Amino acid sequence: MFNVRISNWLRHTKIILDGVIRMAKAMVEGVNVLVHCSDGWDRTAQLSSLCQIVLDPYYRTIKGFEILIEKEWTSVGFKFEHRCGYFVHSTSHQLYNETSPVFIQFLDCVWQLLQQFPKEFEFTEVFLLDLYKTICECKFGTFLKNCDRERRVYFFSSLLIFILFFFFFFFSIFLDC
């Protein structure tokens, strides 16, 4: 079984939430905050999203949370495919080096806030678990690729394959009659 203590998961979660608290306090005091982590993909999205959840009750609603994920994660090109390790069948170590549970860690941070302030959220942990399962099961294209362009290409190529399959299936039935 995977050992949480060895991974330092809880330590990393605490560091993220401490950063969110510092950011939120500064913003409440009227101080401008610039968030930019080493590559701009991972901690930046975590910190800015969590800070918005802490400061704005709208992002603690289901609709607000969905919009937050879209604007801070999917539309800016968070690398879901690389970070979640989807379709990693390459021998390239680069893909394996990019695998990291960054978005899952974000969901865990939201869960931590939800446990401390349950009445402040419109959703429950069931919503977060469903979102987690959606990501792990690759059910929707939203979390499959690394950017909007890749998602569009994936969607259209999948649609084309479906149309071609349907056409050939229909055509073969027509010929058999």
**Cβ neighbour number for residue 26 with a 10 Å cutoff:** 13
User: Within 13 A of 134's CA, how many CA atoms are on the CB side?
Assistant: 12
Residue 136 annotated among the catalytic residues of the structure: no
Largest CA distance in the chain: 76
Specify the DSSP element, H or E, that contains 75: none
Selecting among 37, 84, 147, 177, the annotated active-site residue is 37
Question: Which residues are the active-site residues?
Answer: 37
